[in-house]
């Protein structure tokens, strides 16, 4: 019998074969959410349940927009993961991480349902709102559909943003809740606009000619979703800063995060492969992202073909030096 807290479709959707818990592993929700091999567990049931819980969280918060990002970031391509985004654009609050674990590890539909109904007790909002996005992994689109069905099972509205970077979805969720600059920036284009305008303001004291004369910044997109976003930023900022995106999802022979991207470059202390070479790229700045573009390291080959890594500490020091020079 249907509960007044959940729509009639909950039981039917939760009982679909692909939404059944078939794994015995106890899943833990960490800073990166849930991550594991996408097809070996499989993860479909986890993603469906997180869709339900995200919609429940939205309802508890009076209908504020929640976000769900499907990515395993810098992990190998066979992995995937899911993490929630709070209405303020931040990470899921700590006390809900424990609830995520209880929901993901619930042994059957009845236990899962009881957890959701208990969560919704006292909530007067009947429909949550969830924005969902994913990276370029082969499993991401399938798992995105699981999240969307989960949102529907909790009576929520799911807005599918398709492939986009993790920072972009955090931005969109925050702006959509009226907590950022303006609601009109709650889009991929709005993210690019905010990013580009921010760069122009910060570098207002630097002549455009001096920036362009240094040649392009070469961006290693790790074969990930950041490639498309970098293309848009490059187009918007072409009169101020030359940017050349490389190592996109369509680069021949390239595998996501394999011998490229921020994790490979930083941990391996070696330059990215794929579309890069010391002979052709000496003297250029190289910015390496990870698969969902929420990590960044810089590197370069000097004129003697010696490679140098600029990790987070060095980037922070250079930024501080730049700010001091502008004061």
What the block records as the tokens of 167 is 């920072």
CATH 2.40.10.10 fits 9-183, yes or no: no
Where do the domains of the chain lie? 9-183, 192-326
Burial profile 38-64: b = 16 or more Cβ within 10 angstroms, e = fewer:
beebbbbbbbbbbbbbbbbbbbbbebb
- As a dihedral over the C-alpha atoms of residue 45, residue 47, residue 51, residue 56, rounded to 10 degrees, the angle is 70
- End-to-end, the C-alpha distance of the chain in Å comes to 67
Domains 9-183 and 192-326 share a fold: yes
Catalytic positions, written as ranges = 73
Q: Residue 103 in 3-state DSSP?
A: helix
Which secondary-structure segment (H or E) carries 241? none
Distances (CA, A) of 135 to 80, 181, 207: 9, 26, 36
Total length of the chain: 327
- What is the full per-residue pLDDT of the chain (327 aa) written as tens digits? 345 799 999 999 999 999 999 999 999 999 999 999 998 778 999 999 999 999 999 999 999 999 999 999 999 999 999 999 999 999 999 999 999 999 999 999 999 999 999 999 999 999 999 999 999 999 999 999 999 999 999 999 999 999 999 999 999 999 999 987 677 889 999 999 999 999 999 999 999 999 899 999 999 999 999 999 999 999 999 999 999 999 999 999 999 999 999 999 999 999 999 999 999 999 999 999 999 999 999 999 998 999 999 999 999 999 999 999 988
pLDDT value of position 92 = 98
The torsion region of residue 213 among left (phi > 0), alpha (psi -120 to 50) and beta comes to alpha
Enumerate helices (H) and strands (E) in the chain, giving the number of each.
12, 10
pLDDT value of position 183 = 76
CATH 3.40.120 fits 192-326, yes or no: yes
């Amino acid at each position: 019998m249907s509960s007044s807290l959940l729509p009639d479709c909950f039981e039917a959707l939760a009982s679909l074969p692909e939404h059944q818990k078939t794994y015995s592993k106890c899943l833990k929700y960490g800073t990166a959410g849930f991550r594991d091999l996408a097809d070996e567990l499989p993860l479909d049931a986890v993603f469906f349940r997180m869709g339900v819980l995200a919609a429940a969280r939205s309802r508890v918060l009076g209908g504020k927009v929640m976000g769900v990002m499907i990515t395993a970031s810098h992990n190998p391509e066979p992995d995937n993961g899911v993490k929630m985004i709070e209405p303020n654009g931040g990470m899921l609050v700590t006390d809900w991480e424990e609830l995520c674990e209880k929901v993901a590890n619930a042994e059957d539909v009845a236990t899962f349902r009881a957890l959701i109904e208990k969560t919704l007790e006292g909530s007067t909002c009947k429909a949550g709102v969830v924005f969902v996005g994913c990276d370029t992994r082969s499993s991401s689109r399938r798992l995105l559909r699981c999240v969307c069905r989960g949102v529907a099972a909790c009576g929520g509205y799911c807005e599918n943003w398709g492939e986009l970077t993790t920072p972009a979805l955090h931005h969109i969720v925050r702006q959509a809740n009226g907590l950022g600059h303006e609601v009109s920036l709650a889009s991929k284009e709005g993210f690019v606009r905010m990013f580009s305008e921010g760069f122009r303001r910060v570098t207002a004291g630097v002549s455009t000619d001096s920036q362009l004369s240094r040649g392009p910044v070469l961006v290693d997109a790790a074969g990930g979703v950041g490639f498309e976003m970098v293309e848009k930023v490059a187009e918007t900022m072409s009169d101020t800063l030359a940017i050349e995106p490389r190592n996109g999802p369509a680069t021949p022979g390239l595998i996501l995060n394999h011998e490229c991207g921020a994790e490979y470059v930083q941990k391996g202390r070696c330059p990215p492969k794929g579309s890069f070479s010391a002979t052709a790229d000496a003297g250029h700045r190289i910015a390496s992202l990870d698969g969902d573009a929420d990590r960044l390291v810089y590197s370069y080959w000097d004129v003697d073909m010696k490679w140098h890594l600029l990790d987070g500490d060095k980037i922070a020091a250079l930024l501080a030096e730049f700010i001091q020079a502008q004061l």
